Every structure is written in C-alpha cells, then in structure tokens.
Amino acid sequence: MKTAVITVLIVWILLSGVAWMLQPKPDDLSKTNLTWLSDDNPTRREQLGLFNRLNPQYNVRLDPVDTNTGGGMEKVIVQSIAGVGPDLFDSYGSYKLATYVKAGIAWDVTDELKNAGIDVKKDAWKLALSSVVYKGRVYGVPSNVGTPAIWFNKDLFDKYKVPYPKNVRTWKEFLPILQRLTIRDEHGRVKQYGFLCDSWMVTQFIWQWGGRTYTPDGTKCVIDSPEAIAGVQFFHDLMYKYHVMPTPNDEAAMATQGGWGSGTMTLFMGGKGAMALGGRYWLCSLRDIKELKLGAIECPYGPHKIYWGSSRVTIINKNSPRRKAALAFLKYLASHDYNELVNHQADCVSPMKAYCYTDKYMHDPDYPNEDFNAVWRDTNDYAMTEEVSPFINAQTAGRIVEKQLDLVRNNQKPATQAMKAAAREVNAEIQKNLDRDPNLRAEYDRLMGTKAK
Amino acid sequence: MKTTRRQRNVVIAAGFLLPNLLGFLVFTAGPVAFSLVMSLSNWNIQHTVPFQWTFLRNFVDLWHDQSFWLYFVNTIYLMLGLPLAIAGSLVLALLLSQNLRGITIYRTLFYLPSITSGIALMILWKALYNPDFGPINAVINWTLQTFHINGILHALFGTSVTPPQWLLATRNLLGLDVEKVGFLPAQWGLGARDAIIIMGIWIAVGGNNMLLYLAALTNLPQELVEAAQLDGAGKWAVFKNVTWPYLAPTTFFIVVMSFIGGLQGGFEQARVMTGGGPAGTTMTMSYYIYTKAFEEFQVGYASAVSWVLFIIIFIVTLINWRLSNKEVNY
C-alpha cells in the first residue's frame, strides 16, 4: 500500500511538472491584449498576424467558435452576461446585430468611425449594411462579404465532353447541362451528380421564384405564398424529379464529413459533383488540390435574379474595458492592407467595395489560373440578405421552418403542405409574442394600421 | 462558557463540511432556486422583450406548446431501450461473474465503451448507420439477398423490404407522427430514434449497470446457491429463486437511476448525431431546454420546462419507489 501511495505521489508530481512546462506563456504586459471571437478557419490567423505586425502595441488573439452551428451568438451573449465577453466578436446578419444591440453588447461606433475617416455606409458593399447598421447607427465594420455562385470542375466537363457553361441565365437553361453531368454506374446508382447545393440554400430558390418569408414590415409570415412554394418545389424537384442533385440520404451515403467549409464543398472536392453552389471562400480549401481545374459562373435564377448574400461583420463589445483599443482593429478592417489580404486569401471578397475593382483583384499574380474573380464581385449586386421579422425570434422561426423543410427535403411531405404548416406555426408564434409584449403589440398595431390606410 | 467535547466535534465537522456546503449552495442550490424564480418571468437574455413577472404564464404556454409534447414523447420513446439495456447488463454481469481464465480482460473489454469518449462513439455509430455504405446496412442487404427474403415476401405478400435510412428517417417502431402527438401508419419502420436507442443499449449493456450487477453477484452468498442446488434446483431455478431476489435492491437502484437518466438524456446524441432532426424527431426535453435557453435565449421559458421536467422525474421516481419497494425483499 505504501509503495502504491508513493508511486501515485511521484507520478502526480511528475505530471504537475509537465503541466507546468506546457502552460501557455503569460501575456506580454507591454502590449494591449485583445480577444477576437471568430471562426477558426485557415485565413483567420493570417489576418490576425498582419494586424499584430502592423500594430505592435496590440496583441489580438483568436477565441475560436464554430459559426456553422450558430454557436457564436450563444457564446458572446452568455460570456458577456458573465462579464468575460470577448473584446471583439463576429456577427452575421441583421437579426444578430439587433440582438446584440438590444442586449447591450454591441458598441455604437458611428462617431468613432466618422472621426477615423471611415464611412462604412459609403465604402462597404450595400449587402453588408443590414448586418452592421441598426436604426441608422453603425455598430462595426464588415470583415468580408459573399454571395454564392456556381463552381465547376473543368476536368469532369472535359471527361464527359460537355462544353463549359457560358451565358447560362435561368435554371431552365441550366437543367440539361446538369442532367448530362449526372453520371450513373452499371447498377444505375449515381456516381457523380450534376449539381451540389447546401440544403439551407433553399431560401435562395424561394426568393428567385418571387417568394418571401415575411411581408416587408415583418407582420406576417408568407412563406406559403404560391411563389415561395414554387421555389421550394423546384429545389425538391432537383433531387426527386430531375435527379441531378443528391437527396439528404444520398449525401449521407457519400460520406460527407463537414468540418470547416461544408459537406457540399467536401463532395465537390472529392469529384462527386460536376458543379456546386458555393462561395468564393471555398478557394481557401480548393486551392490545396493542385490538380483541380476550376471555373465559375453566376448562379442561374428563376423568374427573379436574386442571390443569397451575407456579410461577416466585426463588432466591439460595449462592456469591454479595452473597447477604445479595439477600435484599432476596426480601422484595420477598413484598411488597404486588410482588404487586399482578404481578396488574396479568397476569404469571400473584401468588405470595402473599391478593392474588388482593381487589377490585382482580377488577376492575382500568385494564382494566375483564377480567371473568375469578376463573378464573385458582380453577383454581390444582386444579393439579398436574410429576412427577419421584429415580431418573432429568428431562431424560433428558423426551427419551425427548418422542420417543415426537412420533411420536404426527405420527400415526406409535399412542399405546399409543408410551407402552409410553417407559415401557420410562425404566425401563431408571432401572435403569441404579441400577447406577451404590449410594446410589440403597439408596434404591430401601428404597422397594421398604416397598412390599412 | 465551557464547550463540551460534542459541541467541539460539531464545530470541527461543520468546518470540514463547510467548503462542500458552500459549493453546493452557490453552484447547485442557488441556481436551482434562481431557475424556479426565473420560470415565473419572461426573462430573455437578448432583452428583446422587457422583463416582466409572468407568474404561471410560462407553464400555461407550455401546456399548449405542441413542440414540448412532441419532444416529451420523443424522450419517452428513447427510454424504450431501458429494459433491454438493463436486462443486457444483467446477462453480461452473469457471464462475467463466471470463474474463467482471463475474465479480467473480458470485463475490461466490455466496460471499454463506458470509458471511451462519448462523442467519439457517436461519430463512430454515425458512420455505422450510413444508409448506403455503413456496415449495418451492408449486413442487412447481404441477408436480404442471400436468403432471397424480398423474393419470398413478394411472392407471399406482394411486398418487399429495404434497409432503414437510420439517422435520416423519421420512421419509428410505434408509428409515431412527426408533427403531432399521435400515430401515423406511414411512419412505421426504423428511423433516427431507433438508431439512437440501439446505440444507447450497446453503450449501456457494458456500462455502470453491469458493474453494479457484477459487484452484487460477487457478494451473492454461495451457501444459498448450494442449499438450493442440494434441494435439486437447476440453473434457472437457482437464478429465479436465489440470484434474482438477491439482486432486487441493485435492480431497484438501477431502474430508478435509469429512469432519471432517461428523462434527462438524449442531449449529446441529438447534438452530435442528428442536430435534433430529422424534423425534430430526436429532440428530447433536455435538448429543448438547451434550445430555448441558449439558442432562442428564452431563459424564463426554458426554466419552466426544466421545472416541469423535474416534476415529471420526481413523480416517476416516486411511482418507481412505491412499486419497486414491494418487490425488494433483501
């Protein structure tokens, strides 16, 4: 027994010694240390590194968060309530911005940016503004902007002797190409799909067919309109009628692994699809596959030319004791150095529009084969950002709509029934919220009254 | 005033207990009481609605919340695997209590899933459940083809079977509807919920329940077994009349703990394997609490759900206690 106790004690002391040696170095107290909560993708550290080199008085560290699962907002709010929030954090879309503002976490930097000579409203992409401007006030600086387009694998086009797509405008024109590139094996099982697309992109189809989630004032969910249903139906048809896109079941069978990027990108990289709807940021991973010959074109559209656009914006935590210092980072996001770096890295496109209209953007000498950069820039002009209603929590609405879309995607419910159920449930939730909150009710009545006039 | 030895002992004991007690008060009792108070409010940490005391409003809303009832049913459904898991643990413990060479290795091997990272196991099972390339469906396909099962079924009933889609399917063995509490014949089959149950049984069979049974079996008085054998009892009779009654307190403990664990469970599996889908079929009450509190930020409502869950667990445990106590003779 005595031997055992002594052995455990020695091992414990040794392990403590190892832990002591492995502990992170203390912060350099001669610098101002800042924390940036963002996704830990391959480009982020380089962006941080450049800032730290250009601003030796600061040391910005990454606090990684998985933005794919929506974990960012949860982490920022919970940490900030506990008094240990990050100094800077990323936000996506108008709903999250509104939430951060109402929660007292986002710092209004309108005046600070103005004093620094930064005019986000004028210089940034229009599609980024809803993510950074709330009730006329500016709460941060966009850190990138993106709208998806069609990637195509030139080798697969060559292999099946299909000319590269050019001047393809509508889905109707696009379908025959997708069908030619959907290849089956001797058992009739699809071994290569013509088209790959993330399931959440169904919203883009709803918009392209003229549908919307809410009325413009957000008082009612109208995702059951004939136009919205037609968009969902077309998305469904790509899987179950035309068989040019994998069903959720097919995707699982093709063993997508997710991780940074998306399952769709992994499938495209693995040659499981000739074309895929994806962002410019895919290049961060696609560039690693040297033998992949890529092309890109604008995404086809339905009756309306609209694309799903989004922007990542960086916001300063209002409660941070280092918020003044954090301003330096926002200035960096609007700078020449940062914007050129983002374009070079292909972390979507630069948040400041002007940097996408340079020769360097169009022809990056390090990537001479990338002759498609104009596509990612030009699609931004047709981008629409997420729709939100002030009368319902976007996450709640998302959960309700997603459940119905899940049933459509799994071919368990017709699009019409599913969208009617989604609209019914969302509208019921809106009414429930109005009953709970007199202020919300007053705003709703005001809008409805306005509408009646 | 002179203190007695007893009083001194009480002070010393209290001194030793104090750190633990403080920790309990600050980190357990405090938050529990806080959540009870918050369940009577509309507290939303997004501050999208002004804070108000709503008293029983959350509980009334919850009663009419269809999602809550659907996820409650999901939770109960996932608990259907408990009897099998407990029986499996018992059988395994009986096997591992034999005096065999290398029995320690067997015991370690069977206990391995319990000390392996749960996330790693779930990712492994996710791959096993792959509908087209997973080994489970490969075996099912092989069986169907080798024994011409579909041909026979077609000839006899004009139907055929296909391997389940596992984590992608909303089907289930009871034919539970996806959108409302009730049954729908079209939903009959095997789906995500069943996949999680099967995985749960696999993990639980060699887990702590097996260890508890094994410990109880180790203490089984051999004189009782020998006496029964002398009276001519066979293996089954010995198990039925000696072993099983002797294990009753252990079984009682396991049943109670399993029910509590079952009602609280399902979060990790849903988070890692299905994200609560497809169509919310693997959302359990604990996952719903998480979603409401940390994704939709309705902390008041989430607290109300937590308290309803607590009340359900309390009632179920009480019933278990009353019913099982009658059977526990040792």
Domain ranges of chain A: 32-144+311-369, 149-197+245-308, 394-452
Characterize the bridge pairing of strands A88-92 and A32-38: parallel
User: DSSP secondary-structure letter at A146?
Assistant: E
Q: Which residues of A touch B131 (CB under 8 A)?
A: 249, 252-253
- Given a cut of 50, whether residue B170 has pLDDT beyond it is yes
The reply to whether residue B130 touches residue A412, judged by beta carbons under 8 angstroms, is: no
Cβ neighbour number for residue A389 with a 10 Å cutoff: 22
One domain for residues B113 and B71: yes
Instruction: Determine the distance in angstroms separating the CA of A249 from the nearest CA of chain B, rounded to an integer.
Output: 7
B286 and B207 both lie in a single domain: yes
Residues B217-253 have pLDDT tens digits of: 988 999 999 999 998 889 899 999 999 999 999 999 9
Residue B44: burial class (beta carbons within 10 Å; 0-12, 13-18, 19+): buried
Task: Tell whether B26 and B69 lie within a shared domain.
Answer: no
Cβ-based contacts of A99 with chain B (< 8 Å): 46, 48, 297
Q: Which of A10, A196, A82, A70 has its CA nearest to residue B290?
A: A70
At a CB cut-off of 8 Å and minimum separation 6, what does A135 contact?
A: none
Chain B positions touching A436 (Cβ under 8 A) are 42, 49, 54, 57
Question: Based on the domain organization, do B25 and B74 belong to the same domain?
Answer: no
Q: Is residue B185 part of a domain?
A: yes
Does B74 have pLDDT greater than 70? yes
For residue B37, being part of any structural domain is answered with no
Q: Can you tell me the mean pLDDT for B298-310?
A: 94
Query: In this predicted model, what pLDDT tens digit does every residue of B203-212 receive, in sequence order?
Result: 889 889 999 9
Q: Helices B248-264 & B208-218, crossing angle to 10 degrees?
A: 170
Regarding whether B115 and B195 lie in a shared domain, the answer is yes
Report the pLDDT value the prediction gives residue A137, as an integer from 0 to 100: 96
Nearest chain A alpha carbon to B292: A396
pLDDT for residue A356: 95
Write out the DSSP string of A269-299: HTTSEEEEEE-GGGHHHHTT-TT--EEEEPP
Contact flag A249-B168 (C-beta cutoff 8 Å): yes
CB atoms B42 and A436 under 8 Å: yes
CB contact under 8 A, A410 and B46: no
Has residue B14 got a pLDDT over 60?
yes
Is residue B179 domain-shared with residue B298, that is, in the same domain?
A: yes
Which chain A positions have a beta carbon within 8 Å of B302's beta carbon? none
Would B12 be classed as within a structural domain? yes
Interface residue B59 vs chain A (CB under 8 A): no
Count of CB atoms within 10 A of residue A225's CB?
19
* Residue B269: other Cβ atoms inside 10 A: 27
CB A253 to CB B131 under 8 A? yes
- A412 vs B279: CB contact, 8 Å cut-off? yes
Q: Which range, A17-26, A52-61, B100-109, B126-135, has the best average confidence (pLDDT)? A: A52-61
Mean pLDDT of chain B: 89
Distance of CA B323 to the CA centre of its chain: 20
Burial state string for A79-106 with b = 16 or more CB within 10 A and e = fewer than 16: bbeeeebbbbbbbbbbbbbbbbbebebb
| Chain B CB contacts of A250 below 8 Å | 132
Residue A102 and residue B298: Cβ atoms within 8 Å? no
Pick the range with the lowest mean pLDDT from A144-148, B4-8, B17-21.
B4-8
Residue B50 and residue A437: Cβ atoms within 8 Å? yes
Low-confidence winner among A121-135, B8-22, B111-125 (lowest mean pLDDT):
B111-125
Q: Which fold has domain A32-144+311-369?
A: D-Maltodextrin-Binding Protein; domain 2 (3.40.190)
Give the residues across from A150 on adjacent strands.
Answer: A277, A297
ipTM of the complex: 0.74
What CATH code is carried by the domain that includes residue B278?
A: 1.10.3720.10
Question: By three-state DSSP, how is residue A306 classified?
Answer: coil
Name B221's Cβ contacts closer than 8 Å, sequence gap at least 6: B246
- In terms of domains, do B109 and B213 share one? yes
| Location of structure tokens 């770096």 | A341
Q: In this predicted structure, what is the pLDDT of residue A259? A: 38
Question: Does B263 touch chain A if contact means CB atoms closer than 8 Å?
Answer: no
- Between chains, do B295 and A421 touch, taking CB under 8 Å as contact? no
| Same fold across A32-144+311-369 and A149-197+245-308 | yes
- DSSP single-letter state for residue A124: B
What does the DSSP 8-state code read for residue A108? Answer: -
Q: How far is A85 from chain B (nearest CA, A)?
A: 14
Taking alpha carbons only, the member of A184, A180, A148 closest to residue A164 is A180
Q: How far is CA B122 from CA A258, B171, B277, in A?
A: 15, 20, 15
In a domain, residue B158? The reply is no
Distances in whole angstroms, Cα of residue B256 to Cα of each of B82, B197, B251, B316, B317: 11, 18, 8, 9, 6
Same-domain pairing of B73 and B218: yes
Q: Kindly determine whether residue B47 and residue A403, on different chains, have CB atoms separated by under 8 Å.
A: no
Interface of A with B in 378-417 (CB under 8 A): 393, 395-396, 399, 403-404, 406-407, 410, 412
Contact list in B for residue A249 (CB cut-off 8 A) is 131-132, 165, 168
Same domain, B100 and B20: no
Residue-wise pLDDT for B177-186, tens only, equals: 888 899 988 8
Contact B48 A395 (CB under 8 A): no
- B125 and B243 co-located in one domain: yes
Record: contact A436-B57, CB cut-off 8 A? yes
From chain A residues 234-293, the ones with a CB under 8 A of any chain B CB are: 248-250, 252-253, 255
Residue-level pLDDT, tens digit, chain A, 453 residues: 788 889 999 999 999 999 888 877 767 778 889 999 998 887 899 999 999 999 999 999 999 887 655 558 888 888 888 888 999 999 998 888 988 998 889 999 999 999 999 999 999 999 999 999 999 999 999 999 999 999 999 999 999 999 999 888 899 999 999 999 999 988 888 889 999 998 889 999 999 999 999 999 999 999 999 999 999 999 999 999 999 999 887 776 665 444 334 578 888 988 889 999 999 999 998 998 888 899 999 999 999 999 999 999 999 999 999 999 999 999 999 999 999 999 999 999 999 999 999 999 999 999 999 999 999 999 999 999 989 999 998 888 998 999 999 999 988 899 999 999 999 999 999 998 898 888 889 999 999 886 555
Count of A–B CB contacts within 8 Å? 84
User: Does the beta-carbon distance from A77 to B54 stay under 8 Å?
Assistant: no
Contacting residues of B for A396, CB less than 8 Å apart: 296
Q: Which residue of A has its CA nearest to B180?
A: A421
Same domain, B260 and B304: yes
B286 to chain A, closest Cα gap in Å = 16
Tens-place pLDDT, residues A111-155: 999 999 999 999 999 999 999 999 999 999 999 999 999 999 999
Are the beta carbons of A253 and B130 separated by less than 8 Å? yes
**Quick one: which of A121, A115, A110 has its CA closest to A353?**
A121
pLDDT of B329? 61
To the question of domain A149-197+245-308 being in CATH 1.20.1600.10, the answer is: no
- What pLDDT, on a 0 to 100 scale, did the predictor assign at position A257? 43
Q: How far is B67 from chain A (nearest CA, A)?
A: 10
Residue B138 lies in a domain: no
- Identify the closest residue of chain B to A392 by CA–CA distance: B48
Cα(A200)–Cα(A213) distance, integer angstroms: 14
Amino acid in the structure at residue A230: A
Query: Residues of B with CB below 8 A from A102's CB?
Result: 46-48
Residues in Cβ contact with A72 at an 8 Å cutoff, skipping those fewer than 6 apart: A37, A39, A65, A66, A89, A90, A91, A92
Residue type, B183: F
Residue A249: closest CA among chain B residues belongs to which residue? B168
pLDDT over 80 (residue B79): yes
Q: Answer for the pair B86, B209: CB distance below 8 angstroms, yes or no.
A: yes
| Residues B313 and B230 reside in one and the same domain | yes
Q: Do A77 and B45 lie within an 8 Å CB cutoff?
A: yes
Residue B145 falls inside a structural domain: no
Residue from the list A78, A248, A433 with its beta carbon closest to the beta carbon of B168: A248
The alpha-carbon gap from A407 to the nearest alpha carbon of chain B, in Å, equals 6
Which of A132-136, A236-240, B86-90, B151-155 shows the lowest mean pLDDT across its residues?
B151-155
- Which H, E and C letters describe chain B, residue by residue? CCCCHHHHHHHHHHHHHHHHHHHHHHHHHHHHHHHHHHCCECCCCCCCCCCCECCCHHHHHHHCCHHHHHHHHHHHHHHHHHHHHHHHHHHHHHHHCCCCCCHHHHHHHHHHHHHCCHHHHHHHHHHHCCCCCCHHHHHHHHHHHHCCHHHHHHHHHCCCCCCCCHHHCCCECCCECCCCCCECHHHECCCHHHHHHHHHHHHHHCCHHHHHHHHHHHCCCHHHHHHHHHCCCCHHHHHHHHHHHHCHHHHHHHHHHHHHHHHHCCHHHHHHHHCCCCCCCCCCHHHHHHHHHHHCCCHHHHHHHHHHHHHHHHHHHHHHHHHHHHHCCC
Instruction: With beta carbons less than 8 A apart as the criterion, state whether A312 and A90 touch.
Output: yes
What is d(CA A296, CA B157) in angstroms, rounded to the nearest whole number?
A: 52
Q: Does B50 touch chain A (CB under 8 A)?
A: yes
What domain range is B8 assigned to?
1-30
Which residue's structure tokens are 């993106």? A146
Give the nearest chain A residue to B177 (CA atoms). Answer: A412
- Among chain B residues, CA nearest to A433: B49
- To the nearest whole Å, the CA of B296 is away from the closest chain A CA by 6
E strands along A154-266, which residues? 183-184, 190-196
Work out the pLDDT band at B271, boundaries 50, 70, 90. confident
| Alpha-carbon gap: A60 to the closest alpha carbon of chain B (Å) | 27
Interatomic CA distance for residues B135 and B75, integer angstroms: 27
Q: How far apart are CA A262 and CA A79, in angstroms?
A: 27
| Number of domains chain B is built from | 2
